[in-house]
Amino acid sequence: MSIERIGRGPPLVLVHGWALHGGVFRPLVERLSDRFTLHVVDLPGHGHSRDSAVPLTLQACVEAICEVTPPAAWLGWSLGGLFALKAAAVSGQVRGLAMVSSVPRFTTAPDWPHAVAPAVFAQFGRDLAQDYRGTLERFIALDTLGTPESREALRALRSMLYARGEPTTAALQAGLALLERSDLRYTLPGLDLPSLWIAGARDRLVHPRGMEAAAAQVPQARFVEIAGGGHAPFLAHLDQVEAALVPFLDTVFRAD
């Protein structure tokens, strides 16, 4: 699995979302690389890890990342948050957890109303077989809908989508299955580390109330909602994300 190391200072692992790659974090990397050593992951089947033999499962990817990274804070965006949360629950290497537009469960349940209907991800899976590129375009458009800066953020995501080559169809289907079926809510009360939950107020994929509800179950959690933010707030609202993230990381590493 490809993990790019950039910058200097305390270590931070970055895990991207569905259909993209570590390059999506470029604006954040540029802001943080003079203060932190960033370990930027390309998940299996994506970007420079397109030909990786590591299965795209939570346990396998967490083990593979932990094998080659030091004890660190982890940041997961969207689908990447499932990997970061899993690592925080099972690995002693995670010093702090930042969840950006991510939740322990992405689909609705009777006791989890602020989420997406399971049929949404199932439809994306069917659409992939019919129109690969069109389906990816529709998904990244959902990443930015509803924000005043949506056109700028959508252009940024489009420019990054194929910058490291196309993700494999198998990886896209496996990622959708993780989004549709994963439920890590059971891990929340036992998280014995600081966590930061950053939500976009206008996110169409991860409802901020779902993130707030998840954070409320974690002992050392802080919830931040970015006014006007969408699903990729580190693109259109980088200043606000940095303002929340840097003090959190400084606190994590001071305590460590």
Annotation says 49 is catalytic: no
Q: Which residue among the candidates 102, 182, 203, 207 is catalytic per the annotation?
A: 203
Annotation says 183 is catalytic: no
Tokens of 53: 């033999």
pLDDT in tens, 68-106: 999 999 999 999 999 999 999 999 999 999 999 999 999
pLDDT for the residue 143: 55
pLDDT in tens, 193-235: 999 999 999 888 899 999 999 999 999 999 999 998 888 888 8
255 pLDDT above the threshold of 60? yes
Q: By C-alpha distance, which of 239, 80, 242, 90 is closest to 250?
A: 242
Run of H or E including 123: helix 118-130
Annotation says 78 is catalytic: yes
**Whole-structure pTM value:** 0.92
pLDDT for the residue 144: 60
Q: Which residue among the candidates 16, 48, 207, 231 is catalytic per the annotation?
A: 231
Q: What is the DSSP string of 156-211?
A: HHHHHHTTT-PPPHHHHHHHHHHHHH---GGGGGG--S-EEEEEETT-SSS-HHHH
Q: By C-alpha distance, which of 5, 3, 65, 12 is closest to 36?
A: 12
pLDDT in tens, 127-164: 877 787 787 777 666 656 555 555 666 676 677 777 88
pLDDT in tens, 31-42: 999 999 999 999
Tokens of 109: 């349940």
> Do the bridges between strand 11-15 and strand 72-77 make them parallel or antiparallel, or are there none, so unpaired?
parallel
**Using CA atoms, how far apart are residues 86 and 64, in angstroms rounded to an integer?**
13
Q: SS3 for 121?
A: helix
Q: Which residue among the candidates 2, 49, 52, 78 is catalytic per the annotation?
A: 78
* Right CATH for 3-255 from 3.30.70.20, 3.40.50.1820, 1.10.274.30, 3.40.190.10: 3.40.50.1820
